Chain A
């Protein structure tokens, strides 16, 4: 059950927007499409909804081939980044619109709209026009309209991007609860890794029209199958450096090297890429196996309780994210420790080296 894309390709003129993609998204829990702008998230959602036809491949929903079925005939609801509401309808009429189209009775419309409005805290605003509401309230109206439809497939295209960060936090907390009981397949597009981690469920990382990896969110985060996936799922960006393995040591430079851990002892000698997430590069020596590096500070950003330090180290520009206040000055030399235990190793083709 759920939606499945089989061998989907989408081309517009000479450009390929989506390369051959196979993706199976399940019901219950959020399916997050994570990627930067222009990575293909919106196109993929439009293909799932039926707003666009794939050039090749099929779209299956609940084990039925729905490729080519007009979107009006499908059970789909979509919420956009821009708050899309009928400007001349009141909030009540906006929420009721999909039910009116279906021909539901007036009394049932009233009860369903009122219960959804209550859920989304819109009850005092039912008689207002969208132009009279704040951004957050407009987006809630759009969400209510999507919810009341009780569609089998709900697509949310970066719906919180135009909201205040605090409002975003609040709505993000509410969204999973709102859709938990609906039994729909929910797909949520975003470019912020934090949102994917907060919403849980499953995540598909996208890059330039290709799905790089798909799986349960915490697993994708902790074991990205390649460097691209790791980079997408990291904000600030993941730190990378070329290292070489020789016998039983890894060499970052002639001065900086460390002993290869047990599981990796038998991988072939050669060049690799080390991936260190910013919070695994800290000013404090967290444990004995940490590797020390020294870099020149470009800028320090302090945020109440955390410090983000940008350093120049060799040819690399690295970022350290740590707890506590560490006010380095520009140009100062900083000692940072890499938590090797949690670092990732990628081979020359960019794939994760796992053992």
Chain B
């Protein structure tokens, strides 16, 4: 178990980085609590895998330090950091049985046979692999092999942190949720610090207690799934999280009132008024837009309705702006001159991409 601290961490893959664009990871300063379940979420190329490899020691950062429980491990090799990592595609030793695969890390560290047997059997039970222990590892399905990869990390007793690098990539879609819940269950049971890298918001938000959203090498926001959903600090977070993502629309300020295309949305609070300069936008999630039966609010034209069973995604158009709405199963869509309102409590104002209120 370990608290992980990143101090002034920066990394460039080039030997002589000149400008900030040469850095795959631009400055990161953050501390993660012991025993937490974290997700590193972001699109391809945002630096999440780089960060993961720095934490595991497979990569040494160009600048900055990384500490496990206040001990500087920046230059300590992987084998001595006591970490476990599960990769994108299953890594198993083909020539060995499942049992030998799971016992391999313990054998390398000189455990006795009895100790090995009890640890392996415990872990096999947790992962539902007990019946496959004597089979050849190469004969298992993809999710079985991923479990073996995971198992090799779990057998070791002192593991500071377990890291997952997009581990569900090769898993059959209809088995993904099973493995996802299993990982969550394991975390709640073992309490080990776990860091999960993914570009899939469902995986990140369901697994993690706190999600680290990354974009182009920087950490944009760290927060619980609810915080990210309701209070995105940056338009990127608003857009990336949620399916469909937040609607970002141009806004104006008139006499302390925030407006969109001439319609009043909400009043600007006094504390925020001095931060208001630059490009102004409002962000409103599709779930927080409602039809207004009194025909006040914004008139829209409905261009498309997709029925997804549990909810419907409605694409509407107001002047030249496309707005997406989510309506739950029993909500009816007005057939004539629909009007919509944005829930003012859930509408956020952004200046140059960063949240104002």
Contacts and interface: CB of A to CB of B under 8 A. Distances in A.
Interface of A: 36-37, 134-135, 164-167, 169, 191-192, 194, 197-198, 200, 218, 221-222, 235-237, 277, 279, 298-299, 301-305, 308, 310, 321, 323, 325, 330
B310 A302 contact: no
Given A167-B43, A198-B308, A304 B177 contact: no
B224 to A, nearest CB: 9
Contacts of A236: 177
Contacts of A304: 201, 205, 225-226, 228-229, 241-242
B185 A330 contact: yes
Interface in B245-274: 245
A305 B174 contact: no
Nearest to B200: A165
A279 B328 CA distance: 11
A301 B173 contact: no
Nearest to B308: A197
A169 B239 CA distance: 12
Given A36-B174, A304-B226, A197 B307 contact: yes
B337 interface: no
Contacts of B201: 165-166, 303-304
Interface string B201-220: 11001110000000000000
A301 B206 contact: yes
Contacts of B45: 134
Contacts of B310: 277, 279, 321
A279 B308 CA distance: 11
Contacts of B188: 299, 330
Most buried by B among A235, A277, A302: A302
B328 to A, nearest CB: 7
Contacts of B202: 165, 303
Given A236-B177, A302-B225, A164 B306 contact: no
Nearest to B309: A221
B309 to A, nearest CB: 6
Interface in B170-184: 172-174, 177, 180-181, 184
B293 interface: no
**What's the dominant secondary structure at chain A's contact region?**
mixed
A87 to B, nearest CB: 20
Given A303-B202, A323-B328, 17 more contacts: A36-B173, A36-B174, A134-B45, A164-B44, A191-B174, A192-B173, A221-B309, A235-B174, A299-B185, A302-B205, A303-B206, A303-B225, A304-B205, A304-B225, A304-B241, A321-B310, A330-B188
A165 B44 CA distance: 10
Contacts of A235: 173-174, 177
A230 to B, nearest CB: 11
A198 B207 CA distance: 25
A169 B173 CA distance: 16
A179 to B, nearest CB: 15
A217 to B, nearest CB: 8
Nearest to B313: A198
A54 to B, nearest CB: 27
Contacts of B181: 298-299, 301, 310
B205 A303 contact: yes
Interface string B313-331: 1000000000000001100
Interface in B63-88: none
Contacts of A194: 308
B244 interface: yes
A197 B306 contact: yes
B226 A325 contact: yes
Nearest to B203: A165
A218 B172 contact: no
B240 interface: yes
Contacts of A321: 310
Contact of A191 (B173, B177, B240): B173
B29 interface: no
B199 A164 contact: yes
Contacts of B329: 279
Given A166-B245, A323-B328, A301 B309 contact: no
B287 interface: yes
Contacts of A277: 309-310
Contact of A298 (B172, B174, B185): B185
Contact of B199 (A166, A198, A237): A166
Interface in B32-48: 43-45
Contact of B43 (A37, A164, A191): A164
A78 B266 CA distance: 50
Contacts of A135: 44
**Considering residues B44, B45, B174, B185, which has the most beta carbons from chain A within 10 angstroms of its beta carbon?**
B174
Contacts of B207: 301
Nearest to B44: A164
Question: Which 8 pairs, one residue from A and one from B, show the smallest C-beta to C-beta distance?
Answer: A304-B229, A301-B206, A303-B205, A279-B310, A304-B225, A197-B308, A164-B199, A165-B200
21 contacts: A36-B174, A37-B173, A164-B44, A166-B240, A169-B243, A169-B244, A169-B245, A194-B308, A197-B306, A197-B309, A198-B308, A200-B306, A298-B181, A298-B185, A299-B185, A301-B181, A303-B202, A304-B228, A304-B242, A305-B226, A310-B181
